[in-house]
Amino acid sequence: MTAVPARSSEWVRPVTSQEPASVIIEIDHVSQVFQTSARKDHVALSDISLTIEEGAFVSILGPSGCGKSTLLYIVGGFVSPTSGAAKMKGQAITGPGPDRGPVFQEFALFPWKTVLGNVMYGPCQQGVRAAEAEAQSRALIEMVGLKGYENFYPKELSGGMKQRVALARTLAYHPEVLLMDEPFGALDAHTRTRLQNDLLNIWERDRKTVLFVTHSVDEAVFLSDKVVMMSKSPGRIREVIDIDLPRPRRRNELLLDPRYQKYVVDIERMFDESDEAGPAL
Amino acid sequence: MMSPATLLRRAAPVLACIGLLAVWQFASLVLKNDSFPTAIEAIRAIPDILGDKESLINILASLRRMALGFGVAVLVSIPLGLLMGRSRSVAAFFNPLLMVIYPVPKAALMPIIMLWLGVGDVTKTLVIFLGVSLPVIYHSFEGAKAVEEKMLWSGAAMGLSPAQRLVRIVLPAALPEILTGCRTGLVLALITMITSEMIARQSGAGNILFNALDMGQYDTVFAMIIIVGAMGICFDAIFERVRARLVRWSEPQFDLPLSFS
Ligand SMILES: Nc1ncnc2c1ncn2[C@@H]1O[C@H](COP(=O)(O)OP(=O)(O)O)[C@@H](O)[C@H]1O
Ligand SMILES: [Mg+2]
């Protein structure tokens, strides 16, 4: 565990009022308890504190059921925490807003809208003129590699294409933070790799803040500046690891890079250790 | 040129109708019952009915009530069903009410409604309204309930208010289900239209039918049955065209999704 160049203490810290200006999201002692019907309450998140700096690509990594999605939903404002608070630029998050754009594993496209209609939806809602929204949306569709599919309905697209549309739809209304919940989790390995590459290329252009939930160690290390490792029952932050790998990252170079390999191996080892310590999954 | 399979598929409904009429003709000739005219006799009586001004006025009056009852029912039931599907408290309030009304044949309520509102158009239209409402509410409710939460969240993140989400996400997302309910409702509108006129005779297609029955004009009775049946088929076919057009997006154009990675 000591082998990992972690600077976690710096990251898991109580939120103070004098945060540097670059902090965009603060999660302050957030807990989430679900009332499961018959049995006793289920603690999905226990006292989570985390700050995310503007422009950072941060992954939340952990086994399924550790509360990753719940944490992301709290930041999105879709779920309000049982206790504690999440803040965006110092303002308490009380609900969803266009400053935080979600991309879900289930795509959640509007099936009655074409690709173009889906992507234009956000800008039009924000009052952008139709012609302008359309031009921007067409450019975005091209950027995510779907030129020529503008008039297709979601039903006619493969999973990878749907997720590209979902990403374009969210980027279209210019959220300051992207909230991605296992966006590539439902895709086959090949498609997943391609989308990871494309996401990195897109991200490296404008460096939006990204909060990215995944249970894949490779994916987290490949994409992120920081990896927040969570453990389950109750959901806690176990470790926060800085990924000190050069950008722009190229997959073929990175896979051969011993530093990358070391991050992956070390993180996997840490999960193995916690599995042995905790109850069997 | 159409392939034989396509030709057969196109011709199938016509063949079915001809077959049915042939069986009818044959059965009627064998049974030789006064109250069971042959298919040909019944068909011969159709022009007499449709050529008669009085009968046409009756049938048009029926259709007007049906259209009004159906239209108002759809306009009221869709919003109600959608609200019930998205709000537990609205559902908790209306569900017991609807569960009480659901199994009651709407025509059975007619005598009471007649006492309050008379035997005129209002009563009959109200009965049609009740008959149509329940399936439309039910299907709108189910459709709204099934709308993916993440879709609503995506809308909320774009800045849609709860009311906007109901109209601009729940409504279109539930549309295929809603239209299934409307299709059932349309058939029920026709059924309740006729039964309402059976109970409150005064005007309408049902009135022609049951008067003819009273007077023993069995060819007219069966001709009216054919006319009502044909109206049912036409309405359903027209509705189905509209429906298919509105929810084209939910039926894939291709058998398989395009491959792409
Ligand atoms: N709405 C809910 N009601 C009850 N339990 C929930 C609800 N949402 C999540 N949970 C529970 O909380 C835990 C964390 O869920 P989730 O955030 O989806 O985990 P992850 O995304 O890491 O797999 C799980 O045990 C899950 O069953
Ligand atoms: Mg999850």
Among A64, A77, A78, A33, which Cα is nearest to A182's? A64
In chain A, which residue's Cα lies nearest the Cα of B156?
Answer: A96
* Chain mean position to CA B108: 19
The answer to which of A142-146, B4-8, B65-69 has the lowest mean pLDDT is B4-8
Touching check for A101 and chain B: CB below 8 Å? Answer: yes
Looking at residue B160, its pLDDT comes to: 96
Residue A62 pLDDT > 70: yes
Touching check for A183 and chain B: CB below 8 Å? Answer: no
Q: Is A64 in the pocket of ligand 1 (CB under 6 A)?
A: yes
Q: What are the pLDDT digits (tens) for B152-196?
A: 999 999 999 999 999 999 999 999 999 999 999 999 999 999 988
As for the ipTM of the complex, it is 0.88
What does the block give as tokens for B36? 């069971």
Residue B85 pLDDT > 90: yes
One-letter amino acid identity for A196? Q
Place of tokens 């809603």: B178
Among B211, B251, B223, which Cα is nearest to B39's? B223
Count of C-beta atoms within a 10 Å radius of residue A165? 27
Cα-based torsion angle of the residue sequence B1, B5, B6, B7 in order, rounded to the nearest 10 degrees: 70
Q: What domains, with CATH codes, occur in chain B?
A: 36-248 (1.10.3720.10)
Q: Say if residues A163 and A184 touch (Cβ distance below 8 Å).
A: yes
Among A200, A205, A173, A206, which Cα is nearest to A184's? A200
- Atom 5, ligand 1: which residue's CA is nearest? A34
Among B112, B97, B155, B107, which Cα is nearest to B131's? B107
CB-based contact B151 A108, cutoff 8 Å: yes
Touching check for B93 and chain A: CB below 8 Å? Answer: no
Q: What domains, with CATH codes, occur in chain A?
A: 23-99+175-276 (3.40.50.300)
Q: What are phi and psi of B32, to 5 degrees?
A: 50, 50
Query: Measured between alpha carbons, how far is B124 from B207 in angstroms, rounded to an integer?
Result: 12
Q: Say if residues A222 and A257 touch (Cβ distance below 8 Å).
A: no
Chains A, B: CB contacts within 8 A come to 89
Query: Measured between alpha carbons, how far is B250 from B261 in angstroms, rounded to an integer?
Result: 23
Chain B residues whose CB is inside 8 A of the A154 CB are 249
CB-based contact A125 B159, cutoff 8 Å: yes
Between the CA of A266 and the centroid of ligand 1 the distance, in Å, is 27
Q: Say if residues A82 and A71 touch (Cβ distance below 8 Å).
A: no
Query: Measured between alpha carbons, how far is A179 from A25 in angstroms, rounded to an integer?
Result: 12
Q: What are the pLDDT digits (tens) for B209-225?
A: 888 999 999 999 999 99
Query: Measured between alpha carbons, how far is B231 from A191 in angstroms, rounded to an integer?
Result: 52
CA-based R_g, chain B, Å:
23
Q: What are the pLDDT digits (tens) for B91-127?
A: 999 999 998 888 888 878 888 888 898 888 899 999 9
Q: Is A65 in the pocket of ligand 1 (CB under 6 A)?
A: yes
What does the block give as tokens for A13? 């810290």
| Model-wide pTM > 0.90 | no
Touching check for B148 and chain A: CB below 8 Å? Answer: yes
Closest-CA distance of chain A to residue B158, Å: 5
